[in-house]
C-alpha cells in the first residue's frame, strides 16, 4: 500500500472535525473524498500533508510515518498537492513556473535561480508536454485561461515526482468539457507514473466518473467507502445527498 491512514482525529475546541478516519490508497489509484460542507475534508487533507498535526492517528507513506513531520519534509518524501485557488506566479512564464518547481525539488533554488535561464528547461518542457501546455511555455501565467492554469499547476505539482498527489477540488471553476479533460489527464498520469491521487470535489459527475474508489465523510467520520456503484447505492449516502439532487444527476449522466 502506498498510503495507510489509521484512526486520524482532530478537534477544534469542542468540534470533532475528524473522528477516527482510516483508509488505504494504492499506487496508481484515484480515490475521491466527498462529503457535505464542513464534513472534515480539508482538515483531513491538511493532516495528510502536515499543515495540521492530528490529535491522534497515523499516516504512513510507503511504510514511513508522516505524522510529526513538517509540510516541507512530507513534500520531499513525495506528497504533492494542488490547491483550489491556483498558485502559479502570474508574472512568470509557464515554463519558468515549472522550472522553479524543478529547481526547488533539486534544492538549487537559492543559489542558481539568477543564472538559471536554461536550467531544467528541457525537463520543464517535458512536463508541459505531458499536460499539453508546451505551446504556451513562453506566455506569462497571468494571461492564461483558468483551465490552462490548472494544467500548468498540475505540471508544477508533478515536478516533485510525487508518489501521492492531493488535489483540492481540482475542477472547481472550470467548464464541463475542461473538467473531463483535466480528470482524464490526471488519470492517465496517475496510471503511467503509478502515482496515487486523493481528491476532494463537490461536482458529483466528476467524482462518479473519474474515481476508482470513493470515500464519504460526514461530520468527521467515514460513513461509506467503495467503488462508485457501491457508494451510489448506499442508503446513508443517498440520504445525505438527498434534496441536493447531485447524486441522481450523476447517476443519470453515467
Ligand atoms: N482552524 C479551525 N478552527 C476551528 N474550527 C475549524 C477549523 N478548521 C475547520 N474547522 C471546523 O471543522 C469542521 C470541518 O471543517 P473542514 O473545513 O475540514 O470541512 P470540509 O469538508 O473541508 O468543508 P468544505 O467542503 O466546506 O470545504 C467544520 O465544522 C469547521 O467549522
Contact 106, 124 (CB under 8 A): no
d(CA 148, CA 140): 12
With 50 as the cut, is the pLDDT of residue 224 above it? yes
Q: Which residue has the higher pLDDT, 90 or 193?
A: 193
Please check the confidence at residue 78 and state whether its pLDDT lies above 90. yes
Q: What is the CA radius of gyration of the chain?
A: 18
ipTM of this complex prediction, to 2 decimal places: 0.96
When pLDDT is averaged across residues 187-211 and rounded to a whole number, the result is 93
- Residue closest via CA to ligand 1's atom 29 equals 38
Q: How far is the C-alpha of 207 from the C-alpha of 237, rounded, in Å? A: 14
> What are the start and end residues of each CATH 3.40.50.300 domain in the chain?
3-78+163-253
169, three cell numbers: 477540488
Q: Which protein residue's CA is at the shortest distance from atom 1 of ligand 1?
A: 12
Q: Is 42 in the pocket of ligand 1 (CB under 6 A)?
A: yes
Atom of ligand 1 at shortest range from CA of 13: 4
How many CA atoms does the CB half-sphere of 187 hold within 13 Å? 16
In this prediction, residue 118 carries a pLDDT of 61
Distance 206 CA to ligand 1 centre (A): 23
Higher confidence at residue 149 or residue 24?
24
Place of cell 449516502: 237
- CATH architecture for segment(s) 3-78+163-253: 3-Layer(aba) Sandwich (3.40)
pLDDT in the model for residue 254 = 47
Amino acid at each position: 500500500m502506498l498510503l495507510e491512514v489509521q484512526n486520524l482525529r482532530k478537534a477544534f475546541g469542542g468540534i470533532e472535525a475528524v473522528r477516527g478516519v482510516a483508509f488505504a490508497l494504492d499506487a496508481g489509484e484515484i480515490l475521491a473524498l466527498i462529503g457535505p460542507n464542513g464534513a472534515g475534508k480539508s482538515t483531513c487533507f491538511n493532516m495528510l500533508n502536515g499543515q495540521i498535526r492530528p490529535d491522534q492517528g497515523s499516516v504512513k507513506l510507503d511504510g514511513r510515518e508522516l505524522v510529526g513531520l513538517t509540510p516541507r519534509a512530507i513534500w520531499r518524501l513525495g506528497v504533492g498537492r494542488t490547491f483550489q485557488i491556483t498558485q502559479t506566479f502570474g508574472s512568470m512564464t509557464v515554463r519558468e513556473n515549472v522550472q522553479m518547481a524543478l529547481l526547488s525539488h533539486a534544492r538549487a533554488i537559492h543559489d542558481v535561480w539568477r543564472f538559471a535561464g536554461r536550467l531544467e528547461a528541457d525537463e520543464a518542457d517535458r512536463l508541459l508536454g505531458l499536460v499539453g501546455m508546451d505551446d504556451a511555455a513562453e506566455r506569462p501565467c497571468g494571461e492564461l485561461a483558468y483551465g490552462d492554469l490548472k494544467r500548468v499547476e498540475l505540471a508544477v505539482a508533478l515536478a516533485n515526482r510525487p508518489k501521492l498527489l492531493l488535489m483540492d477540488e481540482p475542477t472547481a471553476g472550470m467548464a464541463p468539457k475542461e473538467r473531463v479533460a483535466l480528470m482524464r489527464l490526471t488519470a492517465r498520469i496517475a496510471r503511467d507514473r503509478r502515482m496515487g491521487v486523493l481528491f476532494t470535489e463537490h461536482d458529483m459527475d466528476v467524482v462518479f466518473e473519474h474515481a476508482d474508489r470513493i470515500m464519504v465523510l460526514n461530520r468527521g467520520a467515514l460513513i461509506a467507502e467503495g467503488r462508485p456503484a457501491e457508494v451510489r447505492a448506499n442508503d446513508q449516502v443517498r440520504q445525505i445527498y438527498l434534496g441536493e439532487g447531485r447524486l441522481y444527476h450523476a447517476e443519470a449522466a453515467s
